[in-house]
Amino acid sequence: MLEQIHKTSIRILEEVGIRIDDDQILSILKTNSVKLDGNIAFFTESQVETAISTAPGDFILQGRNARYCPCIGGSNTHYLAGYGAPHILENKVPRKAVLEDYIKLAKLVHSTGEMSINGGILVQPVDIPADKFQLILLYTTVLFSDKALLGMPGSGRQQAEIMEFLKIVYDERALAEQPVIITLVNTTSPLILDPNLLQTLYVCARHRQPVIISPAPMAGTTGPIGVAGNVALANAEILATLTCAQTIAPGTPVVYGLMAQPANMQTCEIDAGSPGAVVGTALCAKLAQHYGLPSRGGSAPNAREVSVLSGLESMMINLSASNVGINLIVHAAGLLDRYNCMSPEQFLIDVEIIRRLEYYKNFFTQDSLETMDTTDFPEIKKVGPGGNFLTAMSTLKRCRTEPFIAQIQNDPAKTSLSENKAVIHNLRKQIDQMLEAYHPPEIEAEKQSKMRDLLINFGVPVEVMNQIDHQYTKCLIDQ
């Protein structure tokens, strides 16, 4: 099947072509002998294969803290929070997200040991200028977290401003020598690479910063209704974008992020939480492995509130992505309502799902079975027939760490609340405790001042900067 999908994708690139909505990229492609008909580019199989051969199979994303430098590719799996939601769920009612919500989520991600990457569009705040939101959210993430950074697409000017900002955060030499931010770009299906994607791609490639290429055609609306055809279309869009990136700067790190998902044919909404989306994730992993590239997968529940359905869909999404070997599982925590809403309570539920998946997966990669004879057998011999292990020394030594300790569970104390309401109540208590225990990472005062001055010089309103800095200073005082 993979070979057939690849061949169909090449036919699309050679016979149908891809619309390129940027004159600079068209000029670069023309110089490199890519066939053009106006703004339609036609890529040969040889050109695509050459591009794939220059893209690295893995790379390390450098966080400010050396503990958070994930290797993207190989057998590694990394989980990222939700991305792009315009709403936040509050007491079962969605409302438009604001900057305060973004700060809260950035703190929760920073406090979560299961995640080494922070930032991106955790939510889309409505109370900040739309043309400066990338800089504002990036500055916020850098202040409140020292984990590796997820970036955001935009115009060429916006991306250039981001790179200038990162030269202060990491210094110019470090930015030139290593990946420090990974940016997600989406094609416009069917078969269009728009100006924001192409300009973001150009700036990132020139700075050798990695990009996640993620087309998301919906089967039956923006893509063919058949799974194989929809995947072939998305694959063609990835191969075209990858070829553009390698033509701009060979060796640019690229993550294969195919997101071919079905549409609900009754409503024409994306059916993100369905088994069809999971099939797309599995094919994404297989195709990425076929090309020797890192992969991105994941999806969002269809459920509109924290419920049995949201847990069922989230477990299916994250379990399948982990099992097939996806390297970056984006949208792994917090999303509801088909990418439309973020929920702090769902975020903690999803983190618990991730903990359970990692416990299951890690058991078979550690030496627990090999050490059984030297650890458990002596205790079994000592207790003997009819004894008990509750008071055994090994139980006393390990009972606080083994077996798996659930962070979300029934309250052992009897309450008047229903079980589900009790879980939600405990989740909210846990969120409050995490935020109270949060400690911001250290950052030099001079560096923060330079970042602040640069953003104000780029046009970020002073009152927005003051709001972020006030929250950060308050955290420093409270710790």
Q: Which of 108-112, 388-392, 457-461 has the lowest mean pLDDT?
A: 388-392
**Kind and range of the H or E run holding 428:** helix 419-437
Range 83-106 average pLDDT: 96
Range 312-322 average pLDDT: 95
Asked whether residue 255 is assigned to any structural domain, the reply reads yes
Structural contact between residues 293 and 255, judged by C-beta atoms closer than 8 angstroms: yes
Distance of CA 191 to the CA centre of its chain: 24
pLDDT higher than 60, residue 138: yes
The rounded mean pLDDT for the chain is 93
- Other beta carbons within 10 angstroms of residue 37's beta carbon come to 8
Per-position b or e across 209-243, b if 16+ CB within 10 A of its CB: bbbbbbbbbbbbebbbeebebbbbbbbbbbbbbbb
pLDDT higher than 90, residue 341: yes
The pLDDT value recorded for residue 377 is 83
pLDDT confidence of 59, banded at 50, 70, 90? very high
The pLDDT value recorded for residue 4 is 95
| 180/225 same-domain check | yes
pLDDT higher than 80, residue 368: no
Per-position b or e across 376-394, b if 16+ CB within 10 A of its CB: eeeeeeeeeeeeeeeebeb
The CATH number of whichever domain residue 158 belongs to comes to 3.20.20.480
**pLDDT tens track for 372-408:** 556 678 888 888 999 898 888 888 888 888 878 777 7
| 63/46 same-domain check | no
Structural contact between residues 259 and 329, judged by C-beta atoms closer than 8 angstroms: no
- Other beta carbons within 10 angstroms of residue 359's beta carbon come to 12
| 334/284 same-domain check | yes
Q: Token pair 């023309």 is at which residue?
A: 30
Choose the final residue of a domain: 363, 386, 420.
363
pLDDT confidence of 102, banded at 50, 70, 90? very high
The pLDDT value recorded for residue 396 is 85
| 214/239 same-domain check | yes
How far apart CA 352 and CA 364 sit, in angstroms, is 19
Residue type, 321: A
**pLDDT tens track for 144-164:** 999 999 999 999 999 999 999
pLDDT higher than 80, residue 178: yes
Asked whether residue 306 is assigned to any structural domain, the reply reads yes
Asked whether residue 249 is assigned to any structural domain, the reply reads yes
Asked whether residue 140 is assigned to any structural domain, the reply reads yes
Asked whether residue 373 is assigned to any structural domain, the reply reads no
Please tell me the total count of domains within the chain.
2
| 157/24 same-domain check | no
Short-list 66, 207, 78, 64, CA closest to 141: 64
How far apart CA 9 and CA 78 sit, in angstroms, is 28
| 278/186 same-domain check | yes
Q: Considering the entire predicted model, what is its pTM? A: 0.93
Q: Token pair 């993207």 is at which residue?
A: 72
| 10/134 same-domain check | no
Asked whether residue 395 is assigned to any structural domain, the reply reads no
| 29/130 same-domain check | no
Backbone torsion region of residue 220, taken as left when φ is above 0, otherwise alpha when ψ lies between -120 and 50, otherwise beta: left
pLDDT higher than 70, residue 367: no
Helix pair 156-170, 445-457: axis angle to 10 deg: 170
Asked whether residue 26 is assigned to any structural domain, the reply reads yes
pLDDT higher than 80, residue 415: no
Secondary structure (3-state) at 226:
coil
How far apart CA 196 and CA 440 sit, in angstroms, is 33
How far apart CA 45 and CA 63 sit, in angstroms, is 36
Range 442-446 average pLDDT: 93
pLDDT confidence of 419, banded at 50, 70, 90? confident
Tokens of 83: 């991305």
How far apart CA 294 and CA 74 sit, in angstroms, is 7
Range 428-453 average pLDDT: 94
The pLDDT value recorded for residue 410 is 63
Choose the final residue of a domain: 328, 363, 398.
363
| 259/114 same-domain check | yes
Asked whether residue 119 is assigned to any structural domain, the reply reads yes
How far apart CA 283 and CA 289 sit, in angstroms, is 10
| 15/148 same-domain check | no
Containing structural domain, residue 26: 2-54
| 41/179 same-domain check | no
The pLDDT value recorded for residue 389 is 87
Structural contact between residues 99 and 141, judged by C-beta atoms closer than 8 angstroms: no
Choose the final residue of a domain: 329, 347, 363.
363
| 34/177 same-domain check | no
